[in-house]
């Protein structure tokens, strides 16, 4: 199993994880994707936090910092959600929660 670590050391309140799929509009969500997001967990010390994304293979991904409210978005390409929890409420002063979503790219036929 491959692990991808994304460190978040900001005094933020929100981390958002999205798993995106590039599929035709007729495809059903969750049926395809070469990488499976198996588990998401957080670890940290007093001053720093890590959000660890466990995947079935080495992922291709993009990281975006968004504002108002501040959050970090990790887009895992060609992925599908496995048993990862959809919403983890952390509420530790740095991270409020970690959310996962899966999207289907609606392409015209």
Q: How confident is the model at residue 2 (pLDDT cuts 50, 70, 90)?
A: low
Flag whether the pTM goes above 0.85.
no
Q: List the one residue out of 6, 10, 68 whose CA is nearest residue 41.
A: 6
Residue ranges of domains in the chain: 2-104
Q: Which residue has the higher pLDDT, 17 or 53?
A: 53
Mean per-residue pLDDT for 29-57? 84
pLDDT value, residue 19: 36
What DSSP string describes 84-101?
A: --SEEE--SSS--EEEEE
Side-chain-facing half-sphere of 51: CA atoms under 13 Å: 27
- Cα–Cα distance list, 89 to 36, 71, 109 (Å): 22, 14, 39
Residue 18 pLDDT greater than 80, yes or no: no
> Average pLDDT in the 26-50 region?
75
Query: What is the Cα 17 distance to its own chain's centre?
Result: 3
The arithmetic mean of pLDDT across residues 1-7, rounded, is 47
């Amino acid at each position: 199993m491959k692990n991808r670590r994304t460190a978040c050391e900001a005094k933020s309140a929100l981390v958002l994880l999205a798993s995106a799929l590039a599929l035709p509009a007729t495809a059903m969500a969750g049926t395809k994707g070469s990488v499976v997001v198996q588990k998401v967990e957080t670890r940290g010390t007093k001053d720093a936090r890590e959000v660890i994304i466990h995947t079935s293979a080495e992922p291709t991904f993009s990281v975006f910092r968004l504002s108002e409210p501040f959050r970090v978005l990790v887009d895992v390409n060609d992925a599908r959600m496995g048993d990862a929890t959809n919403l983890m409420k952390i509420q530790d002063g740095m991270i409020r929660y970690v959310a996962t979503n899966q999207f289907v790219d609606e392409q015209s036929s």
